[in-house]
Structure 1
Amino acid sequence: MSSSASRAARLLRRTSSALSRRCAHSSAAPSRPPVPLTRFRAGAAASSYSSASSGIGARRFLASHSPASSTTPTKAYADESLVRVIDSEIECVVQLEGASAKQIDLPEDFPFEIIDNPGDQSITLKREIAGETIKATVYTNFDAEQDLNEDGNDDENNEESFKPGIQMVVTVEKPEAPILEFECHFNDDELAIENMRMLDQNNRDAENLYSGPPFQDLDESLQKALHRYLEVRGIKHSLHDWLYEYMMSKDEKEYVVWLKNIKEFVGN
């Protein structure tokens, strides 16, 4: 496969519909075990996307390369070559975005406000309900891809067999009370709770606080009750397809901005 075709296939994979991927997964093929969440706070949503580019950017490979030269390239030549490659990558992404662009409609009875700041690697869903403030910080975890290859083919070129994981940190806040926090991830069957803890509202990062046992070690009836607790507040598996499409679209937009920022830096 040529470098341009490979790049196009890779970018098309990133912008394709999550629903079409799920339809292809008709059998109960096991997914990869989720990668445990790092300590991820809602405040991280204010961080620049570029701060996480080392994780996501490592998954992108510019297909065009500078022509070989028998002599050491000059600074000007290297800079101009990099700018040309960036322009080519931007053009490719924009073309594929245009070809696959569609309106991402909100789910029916969507109860949340969407906080999506340009440059952030995450979005926040927020709502008020019965004196509680519910916040769900959502991000795409490219290190926790789900394996959708139902026939067990391990062909490394079959990039359509994987999709990134969608993970979130949910907080339930009440006035003058501790904060209840859940770390969750989506898979094809459910919204899974990985961990939960109580936080001091005045010192969320306080150390040595008892965080409770691992969620999977809780009594099964308690686990089910905690899932229902989140569902009635709007945090449920039916959000998955919409969140996946939204986050893939956001990732491509942020990627283009990231490329343009690099181009501006190199060109100045």
Structure 2
Amino acid sequence: MLSLRTIARSVPRTFSRSIAISSRSALFRPIPTAAPKNVILQSALKPSYAAFSTSSVFKQSQAEGDFELAAKLEDELKHEKASGLEDLDSSVQNIQYVLQNNSWEVKDVPGDQEVVLTKKFGNEEIRLTFTVADLQNLSEQEEFDDQALSDELDFEGGHQPANRGASGNVAQHPEDRVAPADRELDELDRDLEPSFPARVNITVEKPSNGALLIQTVAQDGLFQIEEVSYFSKPDLAHAQTAEKDWARQSLYAGPPFENLDEDLQTFLERYLEERGINAELANMIPDYIQVKEQKEYVRWLENVKNFITA
């Protein structure tokens, strides 16, 4: 099946073939034996045009590519609709359970990357924001890490055959001395991979008293606090425009969380837990990101296919 790149490459070749055909037809066109002088003069005064039309060439090539591209998009769409969310069934159930048993309101606009959770706690307005971009960034980072690890292993191993020492004898690695039963448990532990880190910005706003911005990372059932900042103007804590974000960056944001007194760290973590920002929610957010990313991918396939076939 032709890819877009293959189609693009075929256009110049088709273009040149048309030129060659037009040139040959012009060279072998029969020449009249005689013609009146006025006819010759009129022919000389007529503007000359190319013997071929580029528009028909491009349209024909583009139409062929559109047909195959639309077919491929349709195949991918059917596959994702059939199996996409089935693979995330446990994540969907976890999301439904957490949202049904808590007072969080969800703002999830189709086509937007950002998701917002809001709730009331006394006179406080609590707002959590996270984005599916974290999942995409993780894929790029994993590819980079895998390549770096591969390069490191190649460098350390040199050109020696696998499982051979410098003397040519079979090398014994630490895992070779592990009992089979223990090795199975070790493999099971490796299968239980940790969840990916999801950045979650938490704002707690009080009327006429400003707002706290607590920057965290949700992973493995924990909200890891990175920074706690106070803003007298709540809109700076939200920073939904480039102007507000620039103004926020010019203000003192507070020390890194890990530099705070350990007791103070513990009390701030308890502050979040009492407001429902707990392990249950920390497990749900990565699930939500995965499910939303899958839905957005299906929506993207539909939009592109509809545009191509319009």
Give the structure-1-normalised TM-score.
0.63
Distance apart, 1:164 and its partner CA: 3.6
1:191: how far off?
1.3
Residues 262/180 of structure 1: CA separation in 2 closer, same or farther (3 Å cut): same
Paired residue type of 1:116: D
Q: Distance in 1 between matches of 2:293 and 2:278?
A: 22
Query: In terms of mean alpha carbon deviation, does 234-243 or 253-262 score higher?
Result: 234-243
Aligned-pair CA distance for 1:212: 0.9
Deviation at 1:86, TM superposition (A): 1.2
Residues 272 and 278, structure 2, Cα contact 8 Å, conserved in 1: yes
Match of 1:196 among 222, 228, 232: 228
Counterpart of 1:106, as a letter, is Y
Distance 1:164-1:263 versus aligned 2 partners, 3 A rule: farther
| 1:171 corresponds to 2:213 | no
In 1, Cα distance between equivalents of 2:282 and 2:301: 28
Considering only CA atoms, is the larger Rg found in Structure 1 or Structure 2? 2
- Residues 60-119 of structure 1: CA deviation (Å, up to 9, x unaligned): xxxx764978x7151112222221221111111111136446452322741211222211
Distance 1:164 1:125 in 2: 20
Name the SS of the counterpart of 1:133 in structure 2.
strand
Alignment pair present for 1:128 and 2:161? no
Cα gap change, 1:160 to 1:265, in 2 (>3 Å): farther
* Conservation of the 8 A alpha-carbon contact between 1:111 and 1:234: no
Instruction: Extract unaligned runs of 5+ from structure 2.
Output: 12-60, 143-184
Equivalent in the alignment of 2:260: 218
Q: Which whole-Å CA distance do the structure 1 matches of 2:254 and 2:2 have between them?
A: 52
Q: What is the aligned partner in structure 1 of residue 79 from structure 2?
A: 92
Match of 1:117 in 2: 109
Q: Where in structure 1 are there 5+ consecutive unaligned residues?
A: 1-63, 153-157
Identity of aligned residues (%): 29
Deviations 1:149-168 (A, max 9, x none): x969xxxxx99957543221
- Residues 65 and 222 (structure 1), Cα distance of their counterparts in 2 relative to 1, 3 Å cut: farther
The Cα shift of 1:181 comes to 0.6
Q: Report if the CA contact (8 A) 1:136-1:168 is conserved.
A: yes
Residue 137 of structure 2 is aligned to residue 137 of structure 1: no
State the structure with bigger RCO (CA 8 A, min sep 6), 1 or 2: 1
Change (3 A) 1:198 1:83: same
Aligned with 1:106: secondary structure?
helix
How far has the Cα of 1:185 moved from its partner?
Answer: 1.0
- Does residue 97 of structure 2 align to residue 106 of structure 1? yes
Structure 1 match to 2:283: 241
**How far 1:128 sits from its partner (Å)?**
0.7
